[in-house]
Structure 1
Amino acid sequence: MDAIPQRYLRQLAAVFDPCCRDKGISVVDMGLVHSVSVEGRHARVELLLTSGWCPFAAAVLGEVRDRMEALPEVDSAEVEVVWHTPWTTDRLSDSARARLRFLPDPVAVGDRDQYVTTHRRGGLP
């Protein structure tokens, strides 16, 4: 896969998966943009989904299409979900990874059992 031009990534950084909008994590930060190509005045975007059962897929695909069609050099755009490349957390940007982390880095926890005992709801073992 060729590198995606930054101007397209900046354009798509305004599209949010509804599950991550409140955290400010875009489809770009999630690593959902697999490829972007523009031939003539037609754009083609390939997206990955975190799950094949994503109830928001249609809305996200429509927003991606609209954002690409808002570019002055693009008259039309198509967006396709690709299944040949699975989405994994390795695709998260560093900022998305930090915003999604709700537990400390495992390296920072010396004694896992003690940590779990101390941080259980209400402090109860």
Structure 2
Amino acid sequence: MTPSPVPGWAAAALSSVFDPCCREKGISVVDMGLLRSVTVDGGHARVELLLTSGWCPFAARVLTDVEQAIAALPGVDTCEVEIVWDEAWTTDRLSESAARKLRFLPDPVAVPDRDAYLSAHRP
């Protein structure tokens, strides 16, 4: 199943919702790439989320925060948030700003001289 794009109004509403692990870095669920789809039908919103890990200890908190943010919008009477398991979250889903803030390093086998790589990429 191909997810529908996330509408701009939903991304704006969720840009201030954070996974507790990323709040201090200012990385929202939108920037983390956790949103798979958001649809509204007859006042009922349905949000599909991916998790970075199936063992995320904050999943319930994120689900509640997303539900409350979407349910507070005009034209939305009810909201359900579902975690989808048929697609894995990967770092490719991060926004550019989130990737810069998290500074993921490449696979160690791809970097023969780790010290030189780190020196060249430190701010």
Greater Cα radius of gyration, structure 1 or 2: 1
Counterpart amino acid of residue 33 in structure 1: L
1:71 matched to 2:81: no
Note if contact 2:67-2:80 (Cα within 8 Å) is conserved in structure 1. Answer: yes
Which residue of structure 1 aligns with residue 27 of structure 2? 25
**Structure-2 change in CA distance of 1:111 and 1:52 (3 Å):** closer
CA distance in 2, matches of 1:73, 1:28: 21
Which residue of structure 1 aligns with residue 49 of structure 2? 47
Note if contact 2:46-2:79 (Cα within 8 Å) is conserved in structure 1. Answer: yes
Q: Which portions of structure 1, spanning 4 or more consecutive aligned residues, are displaced by more than 2 angstroms?
A: 113-116
Q: Identical aligned pairs, as a percentage? A: 58
Which residue of structure 1 aligns with residue 4 of structure 2? 2
Which residue of structure 1 aligns with residue 61 of structure 2? 59
**Structure-2 change in CA distance of 1:40 and 1:97 (3 Å):** same
CA distance in 2, matches of 1:50, 1:98: 17
**Structure-2 change in CA distance of 1:113 and 1:46 (3 Å):** closer
Note if contact 2:50-2:87 (Cα within 8 Å) is conserved in structure 1. Answer: yes
Counterpart amino acid of residue 65 in structure 1: E
Which residues of structure 1 form unaligned runs of 5+? Answer: 119-125
Note if contact 2:70-2:79 (Cα within 8 Å) is conserved in structure 1. Answer: yes
- TM score, norm. by length of structure 2: 0.84
Aligned to 1:37, what secondary structure does the other structure show?
strand
What root-mean-square deviation, in Å, do the aligned CA atoms of Structure 1 and Structure 2 show?
Answer: 2.1
- TM score, norm. by length of structure 1: 0.83
**Structure-2 change in CA distance of 1:102 and 1:92 (3 Å):** closer
Counterpart amino acid of residue 48 in structure 2: E
